[in-house]
Structure 1
Amino acid sequence: MLMSVTAFSQAVTLSGTVKNKTNAESVPSVSVSLKGSTQGVYTDETGSFKIAVQKLPATLVFSSVGFETQEVTVSDASNSIQVAFVPGSSLGQEVVVAATRTPQRILESPVTIERVSNVAIRNAPASNYYDVVQNLKGVDVVASSLTFKTPTTRGFSGSGNLRFNQIVDGMDNQAPGLNFSVGSVIGLTELDVDNMELLPGASSALFGPGGMNGTLLINSKNPFKYQGLSFQIKTGIMHIDDKERGVSPYHNWSVRWAKKVSDRFAFKIGTELIQAKDWLADDYRNYKRFGTSGNLTTGTRDTDPNYDGVNVYGDETTIDLRTRVLNPIAAQVPFLASYISTLPSSIPVSRTGYTENEVVDPNTINYKLSGAVHYKLTSRVEAVLAGNWGTGNTVYTGSQRYSLKNLKVGQYKLELNSDKWFIRGYTTQENAGESHNLTITTQLFNEAWKPSAQWYQEYAFAYLNAKQAGRDDLAAHNIARSTADQGRPAAGSQQFKNLFDQVRMKPIPQGGLFKDRSDLYMAEGQYNLSSLAKYAEVLVGGNWKQYVLNSEGTLFPDTKGNPIKINEYGAYVQVGKEIIQDVLKLTASGRYDKNENFEGRFTPRVTAVVKPAKDHNIRLSYQTAYRFPSTQQQWIDLDAGTGRLIGANKSLWEKYNLINDPANAVTPNGDLGEKVPYTEVKPESVTTFEAGYKSLIAKKLLIDAYGYYGKYQDFITRRDVLQVSTGKGYSIVVNAPEKVKTYGWGLSAEYLLPANFVVNGSLSSDKIEDVPAGFRAFFNTPELRSVLGLSNTGFGKDKRFGFNIAWRWQEGFFYENDFTQGDLPAYNVVDAAVSYKLPKSKSMLKLGGTNIGNQYYRSAVGNPSIGGVYYVSYAFNVLQ
């Protein structure tokens, strides 16, 4: 009897193969689950599967995006199961998690959300997967360099946007000290990206501080589902018709290996290398600076003695030659006094600078290494140990242009998750390497070659001699500059390299080097209580976060061995209830967060989904979001070359005596305004109302539209001030005294044409109002932008050919940041690619290009000019 019971309790193994009904090709990565349970497996690269069940008959559910879900009831385990998988429309059927932290069809999401699948990434014309998001509705992307891109939605665009969360496999991707997200610098390799989910607008209620304008989640491939060895070789050319940089190669090589060792254990490892000569920031327009603000003006180095080129460095050093040099000369040399008295009362002169291509290593290198070990403790609980590490050279735009040289960032996590809960702990380890401020480095390079006291003295005497010889004023200035610059190291010479390296490797303030080694530690968890609550869907979660700021005084006022620590913690709850079955569902959530330096904040969110008919959904939402001032906005203490950036912490104001001796506000024109007393900075918050409509018509047309209106309170920005008693300028962190309003709308459509053709398009707009005079909002978004695309993933013989073409346009607008501000012209860009599938090896050949018209454009004033990249690639074992 005991033997009979044992035999009865043993699992029965079912096996089979899934093939495409249309072309009889094997279909990998299909989810095969036991109906009524959480048990399931995935088909391998040959479409085969094995699954253990406790008893027969059993019903298996087969599902995959792009195919109709099928159920097969099995009564006899001796026969192999053959499934003819029927292709179907994937429009609106993708499953997203970000909208509510629980899985649901994108068509039924209560808030606006966009999703990019790995199939879309594979077929996209972009040269890098991270660039795919710029073709989504309402998205702006600022490119500081080839490998440093910052996406955002609904305004406030800029490099390292602090109002936009980027989360990679559950880990906040923002560098704790440098304050920019590093998703395109480290993150995931292209072959390991499963999908990306984008939440435009307020999203703090579920994802925490920072989600003022959106959250981007990038999720990797599970090694239990995506197995085998894959590699991609992508190579091409760029800098065609570039006047300052010759044609050069572009390389992007990646490898991924994943293996399911057993039903419980699987692992993956991946690496990627990107190498190219970077785009060049070549805006040589004259910029009149007033601290961290200013205005573009006329003039060149030959026509303006006080020329300060946007992408020219070292010429930020300027003095009034008359008051600082000529008047003292008049006092010491009496026979010159009468002549000097006839000269203008103010003669501003700047030192000679170097262009970006002269001071920045043109070789961009980005190397990524990632891996993970997955172990199923039970059929419901999976443990994950994972890490992403990256290093390389790139350029970033902040208050100045920064050369991020040998930057290293690692993220490591340990996670336990099940179908109802997860617990996660991770850390971000930052190492600035040899990163340096280009402005400060070049200014100090000039001082190391010839101190300004000597340089301006030589300039002044040469200027006087030329004037007395009868030269006009401009000619006299040019002669004086040539005299003072005699022996100046030529860019690229060994003398130049040796001296520049000496300066850039010295820590700030003696040189331009950042010695930032800041870290982030995070622990969080979530539990889905829906099975216990029974009458509603209930989700709870919480987190603890610690920043450890360690810059050895080069970025923050910390000292070696005494880092600055900042603690945060938070908790959230979400309750959802279907009020009228298949007609109305309400969801309410709320989150509380506390930073040790600021009062706690509560952010609620309420959403409603109304279904007037099948596949027609109206969504309404009231959302709030907030952010604490960033680590730099709290603690930065940095001489930026054109003024000192200081954080909001009171001790920094005390350090520079700005409380007892308040500074005066400086207008964009350089005029002095009222005195600015110390005021405690508050967290910034936004309240947003949104309405949207999404509909799938005849299974062929997917329409999505939204409109929103938001109010920002305690808007965090910077102001330039001048301490009159010391003559020193500061950029301080303040709250705008009034509420700032934003509003906008977006509309997109995707239509399935015959023969597998798909056409899509979108149009969106964002605007801002009520920005107080004297405050810079950094809204930085066009009033109108559009995207239009046409694609086909399979046509011709055996449907092996594919293509994708995308056109995007945006109108011009006034761009502003701490580095520079001015008009940004409109531009339009066309990306295109054609592909050919090799089914036997599950491989793909692709020929493509970004900005194929090679119409150079800038995504921000002072950022590089972006031209075309033309490439060919071969990807092995990617058709999953």
Structure 2
Amino acid sequence: MKKLFFVFTFLFGATLIAQTTVTGKVVDQNGEPVPSANVLLLGKEEGTVADFDGNFTFSTSETPPFKLKISSIGYTDTTVDVTSNNEVLSITLNEASTLLDEIVISASRTPERIFESPVSVERFGLKEIKNTTAESFYGGLQNLKGVDINTNSLTFQSVNTRGFATFANTRFLQLVDGMDNTAPGLNFVLGNLVGMNELDVQSVEILPGASSALYGAGAFNGILFMRSKNPWDFQGISAYVKTGLTSQEAAGDNNYYDVGIRAAHAFSDKFAAKVSFSILEGEDWHANRTDDINNPGADRTDPNYNGLNVYGDEVNTLLNFDAAAGLPTGTVGSAVVSRTGYNEADLANYNAQSVKADWSLHYRPFGNDLELIYNGRVGRGTTIYQGASRYAVQGFKMQQHKLELKNDNFFVRAYIVAENSGDAYDTRFAAINTNRAWKSDTQWFTEYAQTFIGAKLGVGTGVQATDEQAHAAARAVADTGRLVPGTAAFQNAFNRVIADGDLLTGAKFIDNTKFRHANGNYNLAHLIDDWADIQVGGSWREYELNSQGTIFTDFDGPITYQEYGGYMQLQKKLMDDRLKLTLSGRYDKNEFFDGFFSPRAGISATLGENRNHNVRASVQQGFRNPTTQDLFIGLNIGNAVLVGSAPDNLDRDVRTFDVSESGQAFTGSPTVDIVGRAAYENAYSIGSVLAGNPTAVNTPLVQPEEITAYELGYRAQLGKFTIDASGYYNSYDNFISQTQTFVPLYGEAGDGGLSLLALQNGDFEVYQVYTNSQEEITSYGGTIGVDTKVAGFDLGVNYTYTFLEDAEGLRARGIRTNFNSPEHKVKASFGKTDLFKNFGFGVNYRWSDDFFWEASFADGDVPAYSVLDAQINYSVPSIKSVFKAGGSNLLADEYFQAIGSGLIGSIYYVSWTINP
């Protein structure tokens, strides 16, 4: 026993003796600390992270000598030798000589320098997040070249590249730690409303243009990648608080705050965890434009007034006063009259909110790079969303749950994304049905007609009124007793309407749609001695549509469908690594469509004695599948019925419409049922009807849209100047579009008789159908950015050109592209992270050319605008804090980016971040 005890003691003591501890400090070339620098034992997964002051302590069982690798975003990696226990190191990191040296992953699904990327890529890292002038890191992305951000509301900003954008941007993909952040039922990304906490963001990468060859159908017009900090390299507790105010002429000055916290810890070399939480609240941008959509320049005295941000006045009818009074034609006349609407401010809650929480568990069973991860993310938001209508999105929820197994050579992940629309409602139908809850359309228009006729004939007064006087009197009588916002009667009726999911009587929309996704990737390079970088991968997705019949035609239960795909990519460097070849190909299949193959080929060459020039060229084909709404929507939005074109959706949508007294002679009934199929197979084109020459049309069902994209690029480091330029040309086939048709309530379109009588009697219904344009759609453009340092100050300027060929001609021919991008944009930045000790500042300026906005809510011209943002920041190392003050739109020149959205005012803020 004594011998065993001696052996145990010896071994235990030897273990203690074998423990090596190294301390040190990481600073930059100016002697300033580099917080959160990574310190890793070269060749192993052991490591630590420097604190706010750049200090670190690292312990290992490894016996010296060994090497440590020290790295931090924005700096050049360095390696130091450790030769003895308890050694104290002083490490200096040099700032990366160029932005082009930064590492990106998105372009090729493998780490590479921006300088060598085969396609255009923009990066926004820890340094940029710290120094952004915008109120949030997400808003700061709008300063990147070639990137557009359309502000829908305070908490909902939509990112886009290379044109073709609406707030419901179905052409742009956003991945958060590999998970698609698209709202499953809405089919588009809600910005960062339910995205990522600013404290947990490690980097953001944006790939402009098509990337279907690697990422599939959703990667059609661009991808945004957000990557979070892992709990191994970024440990500890961090927190921030921002407060300030939003300022808008329509809304006044209102409080704004944003608070967040993050905690992460590695409990051992095998287990680590993290959690973060944030909440943002503020007053949304009010939308109060009263322009008459039907008659630009007219005011509320127009009998058929339809205000842009006034709802309920979409309900109108042709009143034939002579026929109603039994008078000869031309005695009193006729007029199209609309009901009196409500302003948006009476219908929408402008209290914007975004609440985000996420957590993850990380397990490395062998203490090496093999890692199993569970990640959960939940977001809740209140915002205004502008689509076919303006939607008050209250308590919208989205959650994601992911399991992932990965190492340096592969990953396999499976996740689910589910949304819950909460108490969301359509403000237009809220107004329409609040009006109808008080007084039916029939009663209101009858009272209007009777009063107008009496006023014109001078009944009771003996004085014949003018048309203007008669219309004013008629509206006053018809509106007598109307529900007034702010009263209990209005609120009670309004609350009943927004809780009702039937748009014939209510305004609520219900959506509990979800999708399940699994994908994987394997890099074979290590198996072939790094002869080339060869990657293979695949994905599978299942949609489950569940709106209880309020959006989709899922009246009898959820609708499901699937899609899958697989890809391969080869990258090979030649000629002393100066030439890089990239070949990719992907096959995707949706159960409703034929499979599609997406190839990509790229070549880049590094030139110059100092390898400081890089030229590249690529060509690729891409595609996007029709969205869930393109396929299965079944929704009456008032001015049209939307019917998706999935083959089994055409007969699912059945609606009942009233028939005029004249038409009842042909139907034998005051109502008639119309099946959605009629919108595609028994209809007239809207253009021919409006032109007075009704022509029957058979609309093809929607198919996937295709793109062929060509790109040239040049990157260079010329002394202190960094240049990054690119140009592209995109050609689209089977461009997905919507068009409207007139469906007669009786007769067959093209019969030359009964259906034409239906049109004459007003017995028809407008349908919006989903199809593909046979027009040739092409767009092209380019960007150039120059960055440099002048006397230690960072200076950058970039220019973006975006152009759609024959845009006006396409509109004239009824092709709605929703290109929605300014032709010219200029952005500039100026700042210094260390103007003096611990103090830095930054200024950003953006100018956007005027452009035409085209969307289902409204069309119109968006004027040019200029925006100036700025911030100052001060670090206090003793309390591990950074204080910041800044503002966006400091010129207070309010502007809008879409017809119908609120004017964007100014945001002023101060923030305190602890242990950033």
TM interval, short-chain normalised? over 0.9
Confirm whether residue 583 of structure 1 aligns to residue 578 of structure 2: yes
Match in the other structure for 1:359: 347
**CA pair 248-198 structure 1, distance change in 2 beyond 3 A:** same
Match 2:416 to one of 407, 423, 427: 427
Partner-residue secondary structure (3-state), 1:239? strand
Aligned-pair distance for 1:674? 3.2
Aligned-pair distance for 1:68? 3.2
Partner-residue secondary structure (3-state), 1:396? strand
Match in the other structure for 1:298: 297
Match in the other structure for 2:26: 19
Cα pair 1:224 1:260 within 8 Å, conserved = yes
Aligned-pair distance for 1:158? 1.0
Aligned-pair distance for 1:692? 0.5
Match 1:502 to one of 478, 496, 499: 496
Partner-residue secondary structure (3-state), 2:878? helix
Structure 1 residues 504-513 or 64-73, which shifts more? 64-73
Match in the other structure for 2:279: 273
Match in the other structure for 1:666: 686
Match 2:69 to one of 41, 61, 69: 61
Partner-residue secondary structure (3-state), 1:297? coil
Aligned-pair distance for 1:123? 1.1
Matches within 5 A, 1:137-152: 137-152=145-160
Match in the other structure for 1:612: 607
Confirm whether residue 794 of structure 1 aligns to residue 791 of structure 2: no
**CA pair 59-549 structure 1, distance change in 2 beyond 3 A:** same
Paired with 2:617 and 2:21, the residues of 1 have a C-alpha distance of 45
Paired with 2:512 and 2:74, the residues of 1 have a C-alpha distance of 45
Cα pair 1:43 1:225 within 8 Å, conserved = no
Match in the other structure for 2:775: 738
Match in the other structure for 1:317: 315
Partner-residue secondary structure (3-state), 2:678? coil
Structure 1 residues 358-367 or 765-774, which shifts more? 765-774
Match in the other structure for 2:672: none
Amino acid at match of 2:291: R
Confirm whether residue 453 of structure 1 aligns to residue 442 of structure 2: yes
Aligned-pair distance for 1:830? 0.7
Match 2:640 to one of 636, 639, 643: 643
Cα pair 2:680 2:769 within 8 Å, conserved = no
Cα pair 1:18 1:85 within 8 Å, conserved = no
Match 2:476 to one of 450, 466, 482: 482
Paired with 1:668 and 1:873, the residues of 2 have a C-alpha distance of 59
**CA pair 659-786 structure 1, distance change in 2 beyond 3 A:** closer
Cα pair 1:110 1:608 within 8 Å, conserved = yes
> How does the TM-score come out when normalised to structure 2?
0.90
Paired with 2:94 and 2:580, the residues of 1 have a C-alpha distance of 31
Match in the other structure for 1:715: 735
Match in the other structure for 1:706: 726
Amino acid at match of 1:594: K
Match in the other structure for 1:834: 872
Amino acid at match of 2:40: S
Paired with 1:328 and 1:652, the residues of 2 have a C-alpha distance of 41
Confirm whether residue 511 of structure 1 aligns to residue 506 of structure 2: yes
Which one has a bigger Cα radius of gyration?
A: 2
Paired with 1:172 and 1:759, the residues of 2 have a C-alpha distance of 34
Amino acid at match of 1:766: T
Paired with 2:435 and 2:721, the residues of 1 have a C-alpha distance of 62
Match 2:244 to one of 217, 233, 236: 236
Partner-residue secondary structure (3-state), 1:209? coil
Paired with 1:205 and 1:492, the residues of 2 have a C-alpha distance of 55
Match in the other structure for 1:292: none
Match in the other structure for 2:665: none
Paired with 2:588 and 2:28, the residues of 1 have a C-alpha distance of 52
**CA pair 573-12 structure 1, distance change in 2 beyond 3 A:** farther
Match 1:258 to one of 260, 264, 267: 264
Cα pair 1:141 1:157 within 8 Å, conserved = no
Amino acid at match of 1:359: L
Aligned-pair distance for 1:434? 0.9
Paired with 1:597 and 1:819, the residues of 2 have a C-alpha distance of 29
Paired with 1:770 and 1:246, the residues of 2 have a C-alpha distance of 42
Match in the other structure for 1:681: 702
Confirm whether residue 43 of structure 1 aligns to residue 50 of structure 2: yes
Amino acid at match of 2:582: T
Segments of 5+ residues of structure 1 without an aligned counterpart are 289-295, 332-336
Aligned-pair distance for 1:685? 0.9
Aligned-pair distance for 1:179? 1.7
Paired with 1:637 and 1:104, the residues of 2 have a C-alpha distance of 46
Paired with 2:456 and 2:576, the residues of 1 have a C-alpha distance of 89
Match in the other structure for 2:189: 181
Segments of 5+ residues of structure 2 without an aligned counterpart are 1-6, 459-463, 652-674, 746-762
Amino acid at match of 1:343: V
Paired with 2:18 and 2:701, the residues of 1 have a C-alpha distance of 65
Cα pair 2:47 2:58 within 8 Å, conserved = no
Cα pair 1:65 1:93 within 8 Å, conserved = no
Q: Highest relative contact order (Cα 8 Å, sep 6+), 1 or 2?
A: 1
Match 1:375 to one of 346, 352, 363: 363
Cα pair 2:20 2:63 within 8 Å, conserved = no
Paired with 2:350 and 2:282, the residues of 1 have a C-alpha distance of 8
**CA pair 431-875 structure 1, distance change in 2 beyond 3 A:** same
Cα pair 1:300 1:307 within 8 Å, conserved = yes
Paired with 2:443 and 2:644, the residues of 1 have a C-alpha distance of 35
Cα pair 2:23 2:86 within 8 Å, conserved = no
Match in the other structure for 2:134: 126
Deviations 1:152-209 (A, max 9, x none): 0000011021111111111101111122213411111111111100000111111121
Paired with 1:854 and 1:496, the residues of 2 have a C-alpha distance of 36
Aligned-pair distance for 1:423? 1.0
Paired with 2:866 and 2:818, the residues of 1 have a C-alpha distance of 22
Match in the other structure for 2:461: none
Match in the other structure for 1:31: 38
Amino acid at match of 1:279: W
> Percent of aligned positions with the same letter in both sequences?
37
Amino acid at match of 2:628: T
Match in the other structure for 1:442: 431
Cα pair 1:739 1:770 within 8 Å, conserved = no
**CA pair 661-37 structure 1, distance change in 2 beyond 3 A:** closer
Paired with 1:747 and 1:21, the residues of 2 have a C-alpha distance of 30
Match in the other structure for 2:486: 492
Aligned-pair distance for 1:39? 5.5
Cα pair 1:518 1:551 within 8 Å, conserved = yes
Paired with 1:528 and 1:10, the residues of 2 have a C-alpha distance of 40
Cα pair 1:626 1:685 within 8 Å, conserved = yes
Paired with 1:587 and 1:661, the residues of 2 have a C-alpha distance of 46
Paired with 2:721 and 2:59, the residues of 1 have a C-alpha distance of 37
Paired with 1:659 and 1:844, the residues of 2 have a C-alpha distance of 60
Aligned-pair distance for 1:27? 2.9
Cα pair 1:653 1:678 within 8 Å, conserved = no
Deviations 1:639-695 (A, max 9, x none): 112111111123443433417852112239944653221413210010111000011
Deviations 1:507-544 (A, max 9, x none): 13331111110011111111110111332110111111
Deviations 1:610-663 (A, max 9, x none): 111212111111122111000011100011121111111234434334178521
Partner-residue secondary structure (3-state), 2:495? helix
Partner-residue secondary structure (3-state), 1:175? coil
Partner-residue secondary structure (3-state), 1:496? helix
Paired with 2:688 and 2:253, the residues of 1 have a C-alpha distance of 40
Paired with 1:516 and 1:11, the residues of 2 have a C-alpha distance of 60
Aligned-pair distance for 1:23? 5.5
> How does the TM-score come out when normalised to structure 1?
0.93
Confirm whether residue 536 of structure 1 aligns to residue 532 of structure 2: yes
Aligned-pair distance for 1:555? 0.5
Partner-residue secondary structure (3-state), 1:347? strand
Partner-residue secondary structure (3-state), 2:695? strand
Amino acid at match of 1:816: E
